[in-house]
Chains A and B, each alone.
Chain A
Amino acid sequence: MQVVPLSVGRAARSWDEQHLDVAAAAGQIGAAPVHGFPDAVAGAAARFVATWQRHAAALAARAEATADGLRVTLADHLRTDEAVGQDQLVLRGFLHEIR
């Protein structure tokens, strides 16, 4: 039988934390000072920083999407579980024991 355990919810929260951590890293990359480089390098440094801020932000977004996906899975499971329970309740009125 396939079940969705509590650890799925915990994993979703951990992915949320990863999202925040990597998003913070993206900000840190974006704020890294490039003005110490010589003029001939500063442009390349600025481009690197801007590009990598986007790379890290995209990675953070992947972590967030994974957390959201797990929550959707969990919600789907709960909805399905509840629907099956309701069906059973409805069905119970039509059931009689026959010996």
Chain B
Amino acid sequence: MSPVITPPPVPRAVPPLVVDPGTIRTFAADLLAASAQVDDLGSFVAGAARIGDWEGVASTAYHQAIRPTGRRADAMSLALRHVARRADEHADALQRLVERRWSLVDERSHLIGAIEALRDRATAAPAALAADLQTACDDCALRVRRFEADLDTWVTDVIAAEEAMREAFARALDLDQVEQRYAGVEDPADAALSAAPGSGATPAEVNAWWGSLTRAQRRAVIATAPGSIGNRDGIPPGARDAANTVALGRDLAEWGYLEERGLLTADEERWLENARSARDAQHAIEQGIDPVDLVPVRSQLYLYDPTAFDGDGAVAVCAGDLATADNVAVVVPGFGSDGASAGYQGERVLTLHESSRTLDSSQSNASMVWIGYDAPDNTPWDGGWDGAGVLDEDLATRGGERLADTIDGLRASRDGEPAHLTVIGHSYGSTTLGHGAHDHGVPADDLVFVGSPGVGGATDHATDLGVDPGHVWAGANSRDPVANLGNHGSWHLESALDGAGLGDDPVEDDFGAHRFRAESTTRADNDGIEAFGDHSKYFDHDTESLYNISQVVNGRYGAVRPAGHVTDPWYTDPQDPEWGRRPGSPDTDGRP
């Protein structure tokens, strides 16, 4: 007769939890952006709506009549902001609950496996082993009880989180209650903004001011005055992203509303296009999956001004977290880059991010495209050649100053260990980078020039760029006609075109930069018009250039594959040893 053994009980199933924290955060962002609009009305009533030079009975009646509107707007803004914050917290709580649920599901699966094994053993166990088997069953039953206690706690926490969110919604439903609760309540943003440093403050001073604010004040400033901090150097990247996301949401809603009614002006049409492109860039990045962690890539909107540069727009969007990444890369694009191109640039910077992560999974990365200067608008393959803009360094000179300020601000906004920071100038962006580094100093660890038409007239050698020349890198596809615009040897475009031209070619031997391989397996057979396509392949996956740029970004200098420099013998045209080399296709994304 088989011994009687009491098996452990089967643990209860873990209930499903169907939620999407990301969508809840979008919900919160929409409320926050709307609260900013409503807050504007409150500020308007308190300020610009007052008509100082209007006197008399009608004036008195008007000023009395608008006061309740302002009070209501202020209260509504605070209430919306409060609910938005609760929704954000709810999303965080649910995220944690989802992760706990997975652990519980895992634990239950293990327990069921153990119980089945014990039952199998019990069926055939001789009497001599019954005591040991019962002990094992009792141990397992204890684990089941602990599991069920954890499960009960989890269920309680889910119910509590849901209840808290429902309560937050319910308490803000009735407007009279909202006004009772919030009317006359001081906005935490007011005191914070009145203490903000003036326009001449250094990034370090701005950072110190931000650091002095309470959490509530920071949240309030982000919600009510996103424009005051979104593009301000010295503000931490996470706060800039939050503020710019509020501003973007508000702009999309406002201009989208006007567009539906046919009320958009020509300027607003361009601004709306820039705003949509910024949103596309965010989405393009967030569609990416981190090749190491296998989670969606985080985006940060570091710069957002859709009206900048006469409506060309300014945008900087990042894949990864600028505040914490070990390696930060800033890409400065060139010809044809404006706010409306941000969507495409977002896709490009995602490839750099994926590649950097794939090639070194031990470090964290943040890869940002910076369209923060007024780049020449037109390219030969996109509406003609903007000769005035391209063959002139004015835009690069002004852009270089902005770039230097931006990198200063990025440095100042980080606490603790500084990032390994690489600035990559592509096309005319390399001229801008050259000017920034030469004229103002760019506090970067490495400078990379790709597809460069010249690094600026004042820079004759890598040693002129303010960094150790051992950290100046250059790549050029031998077919790329834009990369062939730089000065070679003693022949200078400035001389030929009476001052025009963009400076020296950084891949030439006498410039003193490390040249890396940057050929493409799909390069043109000759230097005809189709070769212009080679100017846009430097950030494509599985190209030599992206591989080598990523190695520099990760500080793995020994892995960079060098290329021979261009030479310019006196007796003939410049000679590029890369012309005849068969291009490789190193893996940059871990995909076949």
Q: B-contacting residues of A (Cβ < 8 Å)?
A: 2-5, 7-8, 11, 14-15, 18, 20-29, 31-41, 44-45, 47-48, 51-52, 55-56, 59, 62-63, 66, 69-70, 73
| A56 with B38, Cβ < 8 A, contacts A41-B166, A66-B69 known | yes
Closest to A40 in B: B162
A25 to B253 Cα, complex, angstroms: 7
User: A31 to chain B: which residues have CB within 8 Å?
Assistant: 30
**Would you give 22 A-B contacts (Cβ < 8 Å), ordered by A?**
A4-B58, A7-B51, A11-B49, A20-B258, A21-B40, A25-B250, A25-B253, A28-B34, A28-B253, A29-B30, A33-B23, A36-B21, A37-B19, A37-B165, A38-B17, A39-B18, A44-B165, A56-B76, A59-B69, A62-B69, A70-B62, A73-B58
Cβ-based interface call for B37 (8 A): yes
Asked if B54 contacts A36 (CB within 8 A), the reply is no
Cβ-based interface call for B41 (8 A): yes
Asked if B27 contacts A25 (CB within 8 A), the reply is no
A39 to B263 Cα, complex, angstroms: 39
A18 to B106 Cα, complex, angstroms: 54
| A59 with B38, Cβ < 8 A, contacts A36-B19, A36-B27 known | yes
**When the two chains form the complex, which single residue of B17, B33, B59 contacts A28, counting CB atoms closer than 8 Å?**
B33
User: A32 to chain B: which residues have CB within 8 Å?
Assistant: 26-27, 30-31, 34
User: B173 to chain A: which residues have CB within 8 Å?
Assistant: 47-48, 51
| A38 with B19, Cβ < 8 A, contacts A7-B54, A21-B254, A59-B76 known | yes
Q: A-contacting residues of B (Cβ < 8 Å)?
A: 17-24, 26-27, 30-31, 33-35, 37-38, 40-41, 44, 48-49, 51-59, 62, 65-66, 69, 72-73, 76, 80, 83, 90-91, 94, 158-159, 162, 165-166, 169-170, 172-173, 175, 249-250, 253-254, 256-258, 263
Closest to A52 in B: B80
Closest to B175 in A: A55
| A14 with B54, Cβ < 8 A, contacts A36-B22, A59-B69 known | no
Closest to B24 in A: A36
Asked if B253 contacts A24 (CB within 8 A), the reply is yes
| A59 with B73, Cβ < 8 A, contacts A2-B56, A7-B53, A20-B263 known | yes
Asked if A2 contacts B37 (CB within 8 A), the reply is no
Asked if A25 contacts B57 (CB within 8 A), the reply is no
Closest to B94 in A: A38
| A56 with B40, Cβ < 8 A, contacts A5-B51, A44-B166, A66-B66 known | no
User: A73 to chain B: which residues have CB within 8 Å?
Assistant: 58, 62
Inter-chain pairs besides A28-B34, A51-B173, A52-B80, 7 sampled, C-beta below 8 Å: A4-B58, A22-B73, A37-B24, A39-B18, A45-B165, A48-B172, A59-B72
